[in-house]
Structure 1
Amino acid sequence: MKLALKVTPNARKNECLGWEDNPLAGRVLKLRIAAPPVEGKANKEIISYLSKLLGIPKSSLEFFRGETGRLKIVEIPDTAGKTLEHLEFPK
């Protein structure tokens, strides 16, 4: 399953802000990531954070597209899609 993300690096902490409609990518999950977008640090942190958030191993996550931009598409296991439906986001 492909998961579209809109990522803001250099945040104070890692957090998931919920869903947003994006004209380029459709429905995207908004993330703030504490790591800087330098030398792949933010991408590594995205994989680590999604792994914890979805309760799946890091090795089951893979970038499909957008490794150098804010809009990213990550390949996740189909079973993790059910976890996404039950996530609660800050108000």
Structure 2
Amino acid sequence: MKHIVAVQAVVTADLFDREPTAAELDAIEREMPVILAGVELLDAQIIALNHIPNELDTRRIRRAHRRVLAARRELANQAADAHRDGAA
């Protein structure tokens, strides 16, 4: 059996071996309300999976879904405002 190995060590760092840049951290911070709303929706859906969904579960999921949509809308509006201000 013949083994194939790298002749040289990797010279450049892998893309996944680095810390996030300031711009990436800022983007995560801007998207955090959408992320948290999505986690809340997922939690509500998981709770509803543990038993037969009742009206309270349905309302909880619907409310969490509205929060996700509102957070996405707010993020889109902020991006549009930033784009418009940058283009002006």
Q: TM-score, normalised by structure 1?
A: 0.25
Larger radius of gyration: 2
Return the structure number with greater strand share. 1
Return the structure number with greater helix share. 2
Q: TM-score, normalised by structure 2?
A: 0.26
